[in-house]
Structure 1
């Protein structure tokens, strides 16, 4: 099967998740989901986070970044993602230990070539552990390891799948610089090691990616700037042990981003990002909202 035919088949049978989603072009991580304060440290305690996302795309691109022109193609996904973070007050390697877990709740609709399918339910769970460092009141960093588990519903014959049916391991490095009256910047850098989908004997290639945010604090709780993501698959997909030519996914997104800090331990961020230069994946836009509050 040539790469274009392979990708079209994958795109119609394996669309999934809260973001652009094919087995050959998607990701277990929702690229662009993080924003300002992604790498910020926190004092000991338990914290609740809520991510809200709406993603829409009517374009599927091939390996050269050109639209495949699939008649009636459209993906719409809305997700609410609760996340729990625990900082127990334990020092490890000079930093503060933290653990977290998140579980997406997703509504997904996929249409193509006169057919459509909708699904709602629980997506793939992510759990992780990290160590945070406070270098100054403004500068923070963290190292972490996340594990995404195939807890979401999946059927290889369906157009719409909320789960991906494979696990991923992701080492992370995060940076945060915060100044209420100056520059603010964040990076969440990750590398995905994807496991095999046993139902299709398909292994998505390893992927380097990062979310970013950069802006300026106005001194009244508001920070205004831009944010988005960059992703680059570093290894080819494999099926039945055979590497698939032209199967690497890449792309980026950028858009306006803002943060409001209530000054009492809680804050909110919002971002509207537009995807560009996507290869082997859907290209659309997404609204992301994040709220963080101590419990």
Structure 2
């Protein structure tokens, strides 16, 4: 499998920051975080279980969201809008080392985002910010019989975003600014499996984000529940072209924990699903381009609408 034919179909096991619910609702008792710990569907179109040949690779995801609705716990629409441009540069290193019979790799990413919100009477954004730095100290990929590949890894999201919900509560953001990240570290185990044969890529990539701490400010203690995410890919490559369909899901299996001045209030429990087409092209110089669009079809306690990602990949 050559670098060109692989099209850098593996990068970080999990780049973060899906657009979640919103910044601030009607009052402190309804405060919610802005960011989910995983960017919806960001790895659709890639081989979730495999790694490229040894080398250093670069990727830039240009991710645009336009979510015209917020759906509450009952799935009922509420007025509002959230849009964002998320730039996710990634460097992947595959040194050619074997561990337990698997290929080893490591990666780093530093997303930045430009966000606009108009939800629940709150308008904010119009500013750039850096999201939590993403480190993948290790991932391992095994090539199994019958063209099956399995990959596992660990992603760490550092508590170093340029602005957070804690800054909002403390009054540190002015001029309608919106938070650009989370005020806590996240640990995320990742697991992916792929069937790669005769140009086909059937892949499922899964991620389980576990917040290490909560968000405490001005009497508000907000702690996100762990969140499961998955990306799905069915594509066929013919010559330089790749086409197919992708999908994504995010689910919290319990509610977020929220207390205001020591009093518990209901937290949200997110779920969302989306699906859409994928189209890619591999240039002769080794640069790959892939674009895909997803539309939400089932959402609760989250924003819903459309996202588009244009991915550029190359071997250094």
Report the TM-score, using the length of structure 2 for normalisation: 0.79
Return the alpha-carbon distance in structure 1 between the equivalents of residues 112 and 182 of structure 2. Answer: 14
Q: Which residue of 2 aligns with 1:106?
A: 113
* Structure 1 alignment gaps of length 5 or more: 1-9, 15-21
Return the alpha-carbon distance in structure 2 between the equivalents of residues 102 and 233 of structure 1. Answer: 24
- Pair 1:191 & 2:208 matched: yes
Instruction: Give the count of matched residue pairs.
Output: 274
Give the CA deviation at 1:265. 4.7
**Residue by residue, what CA displacement relative to the aligned partner does 1:37-67 show, whole Å, maximum 9, x if unpaired?**
2423212211111111000112111101111
Query: Which residue of the other structure, out of 72, 86, 111, is the alignment partner of 1:62?
Result: 72
- 1:140-179 matches, within 5 Å, as 140-152=149-161, 153-154=163-164, 155-157=167-169, 160-179=178-197
Query: Quick check: 129-138 or 194-203, which moved more?
Result: 129-138
Contact 2:47 2:201 in 1 (8 A): no
* Structure 2 alignment gaps of length 5 or more: 1-20, 26-30
Q: Which residue of 1 aligns with 2:243?
A: 224
Return the alpha-carbon distance in structure 2 between the equivalents of residues 197 and 52 of structure 1. Answer: 28
- 1:130-145 matches, within 5 Å, as 130-135=139-144, 138-145=147-154
- Pair 1:279 & 2:315 matched: no
Return the alpha-carbon distance in structure 2 between the equivalents of residues 85 and 179 of structure 1. Answer: 24
- Pair 1:122 & 2:141 matched: no
Give the CA deviation at 1:263. 6.0
**Residue by residue, what CA displacement relative to the aligned partner does 1:143-179 show, whole Å, maximum 9, x if unpaired?**
0000111222222335621111122111111122334
Residue 168 of structure 2: SS of its match in structure 1? coil
Q: Which residue of 2 aligns with 1:5?
A: none
Cα separation, partners in 2 of 1:279 and 1:24, compared to 1, 3 Å: farther
Report the TM-score, using the length of structure 1 for normalisation: 0.84
Residue 92 of structure 2: SS of its match in structure 1? strand
Q: Which residue of 2 aligns with 1:291?
A: 312
Cα separation, partners in 2 of 1:118 and 1:174, compared to 1, 3 Å: same
Query: Which residue of the other structure, out of 46, 53, 78, is the alignment partner of 1:37?
Result: 46
Contact 2:87 2:113 in 1 (8 A): yes
- 1:4-19 matches, within 5 Å, as 11-13=22-24
